[in-house]
Structure 1
């Protein structure tokens, strides 16, 4: 078939389009991951909108005035009209994010809506939305961080890029950004937006574990880090009861019922440890449970005698048993703790056994945190939602204290440290002031969050300066090596006047270095600087070609101008510049006079005017900006080496502990990974740099156990998960 000149064959057009499309550069397995995720996310969005009508109708039905009622009805109508466009926009954003993986480095593309810190004069609506988003992302990260971290590590290996969890296109931060962007044209009030965000968390983010599990499974099956162990099943607490980790909304009718269901599930597990809090009397025919009020009175008595030293010798159940014995002797009846209260006592005691044995908490702070056992027990006796509501103020206070303590390094003068003093103040307030009003926990939580927020802002500022300094240092090192390479390519193997060699090495190298840093090695300015250096070297060499004289004559004016401009841009010493140009002029005159002479003949002129010549035979090494730059370790490790895999899984912001010897360790956070040399920069909790390691060096330390990653998930959640696991194993063994 004849093809007209203006007609492109169909198969060729399709091929060209495919080659031009970014999707053509995405690995096939990544397209499968994207499509599988899109299918689940579409289903979650559909469930969200299917339930949004009922939720908004209920809110309208409970509205106390016509204005609020109309607000919810209008929101229902707006949501119905824009449902399809929101779903479509969400999936389009998801697809764009995957395309972006092969178009640019996505690390800076962190969800702006989530990471956005509103200015001081921002409206309250934006602040409420930002706080809600931060809480959603943090909750999802704490719950599904293990599987998400594995997925991020696999994407890094597959794409040869360095993503983090917040820029992972399937991470909770990015999913929230897609949803915000796609629903930007919703004309609803902030209270309705918060309700819709809560629905997004319930029907989309809550199922992220399945999303990550399937994505990890697909990638592992095609050989992308198959040796990584699968993420553990959703927390044991969720297995005991689906609502354990739920955060019921205040005012929801089902809240009390949900709390009772959770506590009942825990009581079933605690059945076999009952009887540990009983008076040490002979069995009596008559037993009388003490009331919850009397139990709180006994605990308040014990609360004032909590030792300030180590908690290892303080057995709460033993002390309570002694008090019960005294009460029983005085009353003549065997006074016992009620079943529900005893279950709470046993559960809290087991939780603190885990907390005090937790390796992630610094030893010097365990003593302070251990003294919170009785206040936490009292609030749990008063309010059983302590075990089921992750936003419970007492529970949050314990988690916030543990999170702040994560990067706390012990020192000889630790009792004067601001964080230690603040935690000690919180503990002392609870021991001295908390009787039976849990409101004190909300007050102390607000004060502690304000304190840690100020500390975090200061540390983040210093941490950013540390990152900037390290990245600048790395960029300068890379530019220095590039200039060294250019100088060696231009000078090695040549015999040149010493004046010119010294000028190129000491002066023009600085011009090239500044040009490389400012414009990059692919710029026209860089090419012009190299060309000027090459022309200078050519201009002072002996030439036998008759045409070379005319070339030199034409070259010199532009060469001198380029040299002057370059030296001026580098603020070079004017006196030294003038002296060099005088010497260069003499060299050019001698070159002109020497045209036609044979190579190797002496330069024309008097013997004492002969220029000093030097043969450049050794590689030029420019001085470093700082002494002792860290070079990449010469030892190479296999990509599947266990130590290398541990390093690959280490995410930015992760806390680690370096063990210097048996008695000393350093806790620090991974703040940056900079090139060249894959330098891992670690900072302390104030944001100050404390350690620097190469990728290989860090892998070797993981191999020999000299460094370990700290578990920065919520302390209370980890403790409750561990206790439930232990109780489940105990029950299976009965």
Structure 2
């Protein structure tokens, strides 16, 4: 929700301050997540163990067949499977881990549909992919890493593609429907052929979506430029009319001159504003020439010598200036000559003291094109409405529309919306849109890694802070990343909680030995004032038991002064106090096999070398 233009999809409330509600804090750039959610999923969703799911585990092949046969998508995948087993009296149930994963996926799917909704019937066309996601969730460990699996990216892309679709698009929306139907059909082939290249399907879809969105973006840009051009033209008309009307209020003029001023001269004044701007020298010249022309035509009862000299100078210079500024007639030399000739003929009559029939020329009427600004704080809610945001708009004249804000005109207080194809679909004033907000007729829509975000949220990871804790704690989780920093660097609470997870759920590889100082153990004789010179990540060989044991130093708990060691899978297998560790090293029961300095150690070493 998604590069280029902003787009989002968490459902928002509809009060005037509803935009204060923040969507899920994780954004597309956070995905794929750097570690698996397996432990979090198992902790949150593992059901109470019963005799039934211990004695009658369902073979994986049967589970996949049940998932393939799902035809009721009002239920979660797990509920749909259990409905089928109950209907045929099958006593077998998914394993404990499969149940937890399917429950997590079911929660994520429900959140996804509620927070990132699509219009019917397009939303229903994506439902079969729920079963595919469930099958991959129980067969592919990468599915537990939101954003890493092709199906995650596929659903993310499909939602982003369909966010602007609604039934009233007609032929403009038919291509989207066909594209989604084809993609779903190709992806579901995985049930019959597990070698189906889901990543290639996702890549192809992403390329098509990117191309279509780029085309729509160009169309929307043309709409924006056309609207901005219309506004500039309206501004130019107002400024030109105001300039000429101001001059006509001060001076009377012959009817023919009045027709010239309100005709080709008015058109030329607009072009000068558009081409050079209202702060330019040509525009200043335009204003001065208008005043000079009208002033030179005024009748003076007893003209002084300097007045006559002034008229001679005007007669000489003014036709040149008018000819240069008549931009609207530059393409028509004959019309230009006629206009200049009218001015010269009128001046000739003035020089001959022939009376002119002067009269008050009617002002130019440009209509009331100004849009009044709202007063007070009535439109405060619109301050946070951003260009690029998608909206579901119910105008009460049929099915709701899905529109993207393409232009926000602050001075005119107008909002311009385009549809999925980039075509102008709606233009509303701030006041009208604010009223729709108050009447709960508009809803903000969001996109951008929508399904991946829902998976993370269903496991309790919906903010960057929680993601940071997860990444740090993953160092001591099964299958997690290696710990490279001491405990206080990322929070003792996270480590303790992670270790609790391991001790509760790491049943595939139990702790082999726990070497802690026993109550009857003889007091260590090692010097306890010495710190073990062991960087985090150091591999040690222990040969104090019946068979040698290899472990890596993962955490130094400075508060308890304990050292925690893990195996290659990141599972805790040893916890030793500093006294016991030093004593074993003094006794020769520990071999240092490999050291791995942390980044912090390397930086400190470099600083010391620099100081030396």
CA contact (8 A) 1:672 1:681 kept: yes
Instruction: Tell me the equivalent position of 2:289.
Output: 532
Instruction: Tell me the equivalent position of 1:665.
Output: 400
SS in 2 for 1:336: coil
**Structure 1 residue 557 corresponds to structure 2 residue 332:** no
1:563-578 pair list within 5 angstroms: 563-567=322-326, 570-571=329-330, 573-578=332-337
Q: TM-score, normalised by structure 1?
A: 0.55
Output the CA distance in 1 between the equivalents of 2:109 and 2:173: 26
Q: TM-score, normalised by structure 2?
A: 0.66
Q: 1:78-132 CA deviation, whole Å, 9 max, x = no partner?
A: xxxxxxxxxxxxxxxxxxxxxxxxxxxxxxxxxxxxxxxxxxxxxxxxxxxxxxx
Instruction: Tell me the equivalent position of 2:62.
Output: 294
Residues 1:348 and 1:436: Cα distance change in structure 2 (over 3 Å): farther
Which segment is superposed worse, 687-696 or 497-506?
A: 687-696
Unaligned runs of 5+ in 2: 463-612
Higher helix share: 1
Residues 1:477 and 1:387: Cα distance change in structure 2 (over 3 Å): farther
Instruction: Tell me the equivalent position of 2:567.
Output: none
Output the CA distance in 2 between the equivalents of 1:523 and 1:227: 45
CA contact (8 A) 1:462 1:687 kept: yes
**Structure 1 residue 460 corresponds to structure 2 residue 217:** yes
Output the CA distance in 1 between the equivalents of 2:317 and 2:46: 93
Instruction: Tell me the equivalent position of 2:142.
Output: 385
CA contact (8 A) 1:351 1:720 kept: yes
Cα distance, 1:713 vs. partner?
4.4
Output the CA distance in 1 between the equivalents of 2:314 and 2:172: 73
Which segment is superposed worse, 563-572 or 409-418?
A: 409-418
SS in 1 for 2:428: strand
Cα distance, 1:354 vs. partner?
3.1
Instruction: Tell me the equivalent position of 2:389.
Output: 654
Instruction: Tell me the equivalent position of 1:442.
Output: 199
CA contact (8 A) 2:118 2:163 kept: yes
Match of 2:43 among 256, 262, 268: 268
Output the CA distance in 2 between the equivalents of 1:320 and 1:233: 30
Output the CA distance in 2 between the equivalents of 1:561 and 1:138: 51
Q: 1:508-534 CA deviation, whole Å, 9 max, x = no partner?
A: 111111111111111111111222111
Residues 1:392 and 1:286: Cα distance change in structure 2 (over 3 Å): closer
Bigger Cα Rg: 2
Output the CA distance in 2 between the equivalents of 1:562 and 1:468: 33
Output the CA distance in 2 between the equivalents of 1:377 and 1:267: 16
Instruction: Tell me the equivalent position of 1:704.
Output: 439
Output the CA distance in 1 between the equivalents of 2:30 and 2:373: 46
CA contact (8 A) 1:471 1:675 kept: no
Cα distance, 1:725 vs. partner?
6.4
Residues 1:461 and 1:335: Cα distance change in structure 2 (over 3 Å): same
Match of 1:247 among 20, 23, 32: 32
Cα distance, 1:567 vs. partner?
2.5
Output the CA distance in 2 between the equivalents of 1:298 and 1:233: 33
SS in 1 for 2:326: helix
**Structure 1 residue 685 corresponds to structure 2 residue 420:** yes
1:13-162 pair list within 5 angstroms: none
**Structure 1 residue 637 corresponds to structure 2 residue 375:** yes
Match of 1:621 among 365, 369, 381: 365
Residues 1:592 and 1:353: Cα distance change in structure 2 (over 3 Å): same
CA contact (8 A) 2:403 2:419 kept: yes
Unaligned runs of 5+ in 1: 1-133, 147-224, 238-243, 250-257, 595-602, 605-610, 624-628, 728-734
CA contact (8 A) 1:679 1:692 kept: yes
Cα distance, 1:438 vs. partner?
6.8
1:344-363 pair list within 5 angstroms: 344-358=101-115, 360-363=117-120
Residues 1:484 and 1:245: Cα distance change in structure 2 (over 3 Å): closer
Cα distance, 1:724 vs. partner?
4.8
SS in 1 for 2:420: coil
Q: 1:255-305 CA deviation, whole Å, 9 max, x = no partner?
A: xxx42xx22212222245x69xx9xxxx979822023343223323x15xx
CA contact (8 A) 1:514 1:570 kept: no
SS in 1 for 2:92: strand
Residues 1:286 and 1:513: Cα distance change in structure 2 (over 3 Å): closer
**Structure 1 residue 342 corresponds to structure 2 residue 86:** no
Q: 1:155-213 CA deviation, whole Å, 9 max, x = no partner?
A: xxxxxxxxxxxxxxxxxxxxxxxxxxxxxxxxxxxxxxxxxxxxxxxxxxxxxxxxxxx
Residues 1:143 and 1:568: Cα distance change in structure 2 (over 3 Å): closer
Instruction: Tell me the equivalent position of 1:588.
Output: 347
Instruction: Tell me the equivalent position of 1:324.
Output: 85
Residues 1:287 and 1:144: Cα distance change in structure 2 (over 3 Å): closer
Residues 1:234 and 1:456: Cα distance change in structure 2 (over 3 Å): closer
Q: 1:419-445 CA deviation, whole Å, 9 max, x = no partner?
A: 111111111222344347375320210
**Structure 1 residue 491 corresponds to structure 2 residue 225:** no
SS in 1 for 2:375: coil
Q: 1:566-585 CA deviation, whole Å, 9 max, x = no partner?
A: 23664364444444444433
| Higher RCO structure (Cα 8 Å, ≥6 apart) | 2
